[in-house]
Structure 1
Amino acid sequence: MSITSPAPRDEWRRLLAADPQAVATQTPEWLDCLCARTGRETKRSGARPWKTVDASRLYDLPGGRRGVLPLVARTVAGVPVAEESFPYGWGYGGLVAEGGVTADDCRVVLADLARRPVVRTGVVPTSLAGAAWADAAPERAIRVPYTAQVVDLSPGYDHLWEKVFKRQVRNSVRKAERFSLDVRRERGDDPDGVGVRAFAELYGQQVDRWAAQRGQPLWLAHRVAAAQDRPGQVAAVAAAMGERCVVWSAFHEGRPVAVNVVLQHGRHALGWLSAMDDALSRETLATYVLHTRSFADAAAEGVHWFHMGESDPGSAPERYKAYFGAASISYEALRFERLPLTRADKGLRHVVAKASEIHARRREAARDR
């Protein structure tokens, strides 16, 4: 089997156009943003010891077809230590192939990844492609379960409004009209960048709110947020993706209320990131307006599937997405590890959650004295 790495960009783009399952996060532009935004020097972290580089792979698949796996490598002193499609928090990866991906294609890719001389390698497919990857996964693969919510736009927006959306959605959109919300749709590369700036402002508010809800020390929440740098990611992705990045924002009397960032490619739209003023969005019902506007816009452009992201089964976010007709789909990220990194990460998250719980109890006890 012939493999070329990094994958030639012209062939990569040809395969994107030939794959009805392809999404925006499988494009070269997305991978370039990922490489540019991770491993960079920041004021808080200084120079980081690793770099993230393009490790995409072009495969000659059985039957004369070809496929590209968007893949990034994290290197230390020029030596790859991890190769992922994609790292946690950077969206969906997985193979792009002529006519769509089959389980046989996935077996070829997973067998190749399992042989890579790195500490960890893995794939995070889209939920709709998850079954093919799960069927192809060998026994030694580590399976990380997720549940995504996806709306079928193929019947058209009018059908969604009349037959699919719950009454709460329709009533909320009608009630929102009395607030005269200023709703804006911008391309990612819009020179004004109003929505991008509003996202940064609202996300900063959310970090403080999440810290209070979790009982997390504020300094720790700010440290984690600075390392993730979601506002910086949004600005970089918007500039690079252009018309494939749609920034929806709502304002009330000049104040930003909510922002949704949507990534579109072919038949798929991804609700990537969002931020809101919690109290003002509840009062104005702006999130209902932004979701319905983004669905109508995507359906008009021929999008069949709107991916609303992941939420735990039975959670409040999952129930909220169900109001719009989102179906929950279970799928798995797949990893191969030479060291137990997934187990260690799970343990660290448990420790952080326990520490936050103890911190919250102490604060509550201090208030009661």
Structure 2
Amino acid sequence: MSPAETTVAAAGVRVVSPAPRDAWRAALAADPHAVATQTPEWLDCLCARTGQVDASRLYVRPDGRRLVLPLVARRVAGVRVAEESFPYGWGYGGVLVHPGADGAAARDTVLTEDDCRLVLADLARRPVVRTGVVPVSLAGGPWSAAAPVGAVRVPYRAQVIDLSPGYEQLWSTVFKRQVRNSVRKAERFDLEVRRERGDGPDGVGVRAFAQLYGQSVARWAEQRGQPRWLADRVATSQDRPGQVAAVAAALGERCVVWSAHHEGRPVAVNVVLQHGAHAIGWLAAMDDALARQTLATYVLHCRSLEAAAAEGVRWFHMGESEPGSAPERYKAYFGARPVEYEALRLERLPLTRADRALRRAVARASELNRRRKGQTDA
């Protein structure tokens, strides 16, 4: 589809796809809820890494109000089969809102249920097998309310920290004692903590992530009861180190790489994506034994939260965790609160159902493998 191609989504609503970049950047600047994964640079990086194409859509309403939907299309043999905002592993998509007029009221940048209904109705008409939207967790309400009958709802539970009280207040009254004690104990290990922008010349954090992620694959395979060959194959297909390197170079200052080192050895890395009022704790890797010994993850999280608060970030997104899981409890130590939201998929074939069945089968096989291994070790 050429940038000049225009369609009609509803009475009086004009659609341009791909979305013109000037309109996209204007919406990014106007929408106080915009996040780094909704930028054109993120979409370009996604397309370069996965071979998908820019299918973003600009909706111009009769009153001049504009909606921009970052969207990518997957092609098979040259034919589009899916359009998603965004595919699994590529973070939050969803709509950016521009009021369409200088001096418009702040409420005109608030995403509404009607906005979401308009976009979902337009996506439902697309000639593809599946369309999908993974909204920012804090903007999930209107999407869930607007979901049409038959939409596949994929529930998620995110953990989000409100930084508005300021870091000093968070440290003294919000963080659990576990955090403060761990940070103080970590001081005796004389950790070297580095903060680098993604396109910085040194790239120490990016290289440390690749090293630590490679170490983590074996640990995760053991925890899940997966055969090592399967874990290696999944890790190779996802190529998280390559993804981090590409995103860091593409986003530059919007990608902050925090790394902790002990006696020259990398201990832990946190990759944070930052734009406007939002920061996203995107990916992390660590040397499990050394991180437990030095308590480096507590230090990295505190430093990243302190820096974000000082730079005017209001919301720090710590990612998704299962209810009651150890990761969720850990995030709660820092004051993270759960936010329930849903990804939405419109499917002409039951792809999500098939994917869930496959995941259940893998989980059962992994559990059986774990039990067999436990009996052998005993």
TM range (shorter): over 0.9
Correspondence for 1:114 among 118, 121, 124: 124
CA contact 1:58–1:66 (8 Å) conserved in 2: yes
Correspondence for 1:102 among 106, 112, 124: 112
Shift in CA distance, 62/166, structure 1 to aligned 2, threshold 3 Å: farther
Q: Does 1:284 align with 2:294?
A: yes
The offset of 1:100, in angstroms, is: 3.2
Q: Does 1:126 align with 2:136?
A: yes
Partner of 1:6: 18
CA contact 1:127–1:329 (8 Å) conserved in 2: yes
* Structure 1 runs of 4+ with >6 Å offset: none
| Structure-2 separation of matches of 1:307 and 1:361 | 35
The offset of 1:141, in angstroms, is: 1.1
| Structure-1 separation of matches of 2:229 and 2:77 | 31
Q: Does 1:20 align with 2:32?
A: yes
| Structure-1 separation of matches of 2:68 and 2:143 | 15
The offset of 1:76, in angstroms, is: 1.2
Superposed CA RMSD: 0.9
Structure 1: runs of 5 or more not aligned? 39-50
Partner of 1:293: 303
| Structure-2 separation of matches of 1:365 and 1:165 | 41
| Structure-1 separation of matches of 2:96 and 2:190 | 43
- Partner amino acid, structure 2, of 1:56: S
Q: Does 1:249 align with 2:259?
A: yes
Q: Does 1:171 align with 2:151?
A: no
| Structure-1 separation of matches of 2:62 and 2:327 | 41
DSSP 3-state at the match of 1:2: strand
1:208-246 C-alpha deviation (Å, 9 max, x unpaired) = 000011111000000000000000000000000000000
The offset of 1:90, in angstroms, is: 0.6
| Structure-2 separation of matches of 1:171 and 1:239 | 36
The offset of 1:89, in angstroms, is: 1.0
DSSP 3-state at the match of 1:64: coil
The offset of 1:135, in angstroms, is: 1.1
- Partner amino acid, structure 2, of 1:67: L
- Partner amino acid, structure 2, of 1:162: S
Shift in CA distance, 100/62, structure 1 to aligned 2, threshold 3 Å: farther
Partner of 2:76: 76
| Structure-1 separation of matches of 2:207 and 2:146 | 43
DSSP 3-state at the match of 1:21: coil
| Structure-2 separation of matches of 1:361 and 1:151 | 38
The offset of 1:62, in angstroms, is: 5.0
Q: Does 1:65 align with 2:75?
A: no
The offset of 1:356, in angstroms, is: 1.4
Partner of 2:87: 87
1:307-353 C-alpha deviation (Å, 9 max, x unpaired) = 00000111111111000000000000001000000000000001111
Comparing 224-233 and 134-143, the one that deviates more: 134-143
Shift in CA distance, 16/100, structure 1 to aligned 2, threshold 3 Å: farther
What is the number of residues matched between the two proteins? 356
Q: Does 1:237 align with 2:253?
A: no
Give the TM-score normalised by structure 1: 0.95
- Partner amino acid, structure 2, of 1:76: V
Partner of 1:43: none
| Structure-2 separation of matches of 1:172 and 1:205 | 24
| Structure-1 separation of matches of 2:328 and 2:226 | 24
| Structure-1 separation of matches of 2:224 and 2:313 | 37
Comparing 316-325 and 133-142, the one that deviates more: 133-142
| Structure-2 separation of matches of 1:63 and 1:144 | 33
| Structure-1 separation of matches of 2:333 and 2:169 | 14
| Structure-1 separation of matches of 2:17 and 2:97 | 16
- Partner amino acid, structure 1, of 2:88: Y
Correspondence for 1:324 among 319, 322, 334: 334
| Structure-1 separation of matches of 2:286 and 2:248 | 18
DSSP 3-state at the match of 1:75: strand
- Partner amino acid, structure 1, of 2:362: V
1:99-131 C-alpha deviation (Å, 9 max, x unpaired) = 232211111101101111100001000110000
Partner of 2:42: 30
CA contact 1:61–1:105 (8 Å) conserved in 2: no
Partner of 1:340: 350
| Structure-1 separation of matches of 2:371 and 2:292 | 28
